[in-house]
Structure 1
């Protein structure tokens, strides 16, 4: 097939996307496809309109790539692409709204306070229902961009200002201590399955940007060191979250597993998860016998059938 890989983009996750795109192109070429690489920019839509390919693979992350906008352009051009459609992509990028869908599916979420830049006043955070530490993050960013773990009111206010530099909506959430895990989800309609749970042990205090993408920044245990019941629950809820948002083909669902035995807490669904050399989705695929090129071929096949 002739396949276009869109990568790069203009979001804060551009560097991650460049690495993802490179890996994807190499893998697809190994499978014998003719691959066209496009460093995507929304000001150069003519490059997309002019594409003459059988399939588009999205190696983009964040705004203008993962949020449904580009998917809508591809839909109008009748260009088939890998992954979720417009609505699911937009919902998954909106952390506050997606949490409402998770709650509707019976999945535990962290307590939260949603702040709007135009309406924000410091008095809104003088008293937090859930106290400190608190997590502050932009509502529409990934890869821990603009994230702060606030230990005090001063930290919280500074963290909110940082997050507002990246987004007009900011989420303040209770901090849930525990084991960070992620569940890759793959499949077509009626045949969606969860891959083995991956446990993440960051070298830094938190699973921050460096821990995610620097070589040796974190250790991944596949399968996660969890009991069977917790593993089964995480896999079930990952599929539920994927389907609640209307995701297609693949996604990656992040959770925290508290040490007290209480229910796992869902963090977010990633509709275009990282596919870099240190990424989690390929780790889970490898555990079920899918090499990186085989995994990409499977995603192409599922997308052709969606």
Structure 2
């Protein structure tokens, strides 16, 4: 008997368009002999099932069911393809765990922690995970530009603390540009993290739960045409993503060990993709993404392909792991 799979996509953040693309790839790729796939759009003003004719049917939030032509449809599992809030920051995970609904993403605590860059990095530092020097600001704080530059130096990165896809991030080269960069970041979030510039090879490492074990996927090297790996570089073709990365055996072993350690320290499950920059031969963690892009061009699917895992197998495994 085929299982009913709800693919949630959209969300409340600036990443909703990317999420819709990811969700539709999952919808088109799931093994139709095993699953009945349903596209569920999650927006602030509506939670709806969208059928093949783009007709919309409201979701009953009491049990996450939908009624179509007087027939109630319930789901065996949720495939989470929401980048940003509320799919990547713990809210949907908490809801699904309350109603006892299996889902493909990590747990509520892990999602909340990893979505908050500065809390995640602070949690991992005592375990010896290397990171950039950082400075934190909350909305309403007095901004002391000299103190910031003394701590992190120039150039530096100003980032919205809880945002993805490089929304709200600016590379600052001069002190006089710092205030504007902070204003841009505050448009995305009320918390900011300012980090020192790490000059070295940037890599992205996918770690997933695969057939009951933690699996590190082939590493991707990021070579951007822009000043850093920003939105244009990620989504508009302004970068090279080289899989497998051009790393020495020692570099590869180091970053694989660190990435697996981070996944297991945080007690993760499902998908993850972490970004690292090598400084003095050591990988420094930038951030952990728990709902990475799942389009055919996205980094994690590229890495899975390099490991001879097709999208169909990748998505099927995610559901099997959630139901395990």
TM, length-normalised to structure 2? 0.88
**Preserved CA contact (<8 Å) 1:252 1:270:** yes
Q: Which residue of 1 aligns with 2:122?
A: 100
Counterpart CA distance in 2 for 1:128 and 1:246 is 35
Q: Given the alignment of the two structures, is residue 237 of structure 1 paired with residue 237 of structure 2, yes or no?
A: no
SS of residue matched to 1:192: strand
Q: Which residue of 1 aligns with 2:68?
A: none
Greater RCO (Cα-Cα under 8 Å, separation 6 or more): 1
The alpha-carbon deviation at position 190 of structure 1 amounts to: 7.5
Q: Which residue of 2 aligns with 1:139?
A: 161
The alpha-carbon deviation at position 180 of structure 1 amounts to: 1.4
Deviation readout 1:30-86 (Å, 9 max, x if unpaired): 554211101102443572444211110011011211000111111111111002010
The alpha-carbon deviation at position 246 of structure 1 amounts to: 2.2
Runs of 4+ in 1 over 6 A off after TM superposition: none
The root-mean-square deviation of aligned C-alpha atoms, in Å, is: 1.8
Counterpart CA distance in 2 for 1:4 and 1:250 is 17
The alpha-carbon deviation at position 125 of structure 1 amounts to: 4.3
Unaligned runs of 5+ in 1: none
1:1-306 counterparts in 2 under 5 A?
A: 1-30=3-32, 32-44=34-46, 47=59, 48=61, 49-51=63-65, 52-122=74-144, 125=147, 127-187=149-209, 191-214=213-236, 216-258=237-279, 261-305=280-324
Q: Higher strand fraction: Structure 1 or Structure 2?
A: 2
SS of residue matched to 1:5: strand
Unaligned runs of 5+ in 2: 48-57, 66-73
Query: Which structure's CA Rg is the greater one?
Result: 2
Counterpart CA distance in 1 for 2:122 and 2:131 is 9
Counterpart CA distance in 2 for 1:24 and 1:189 is 19
Q: Which residue of 1 aligns with 2:52?
A: none
Counterpart CA distance in 1 for 2:212 and 2:296 is 30
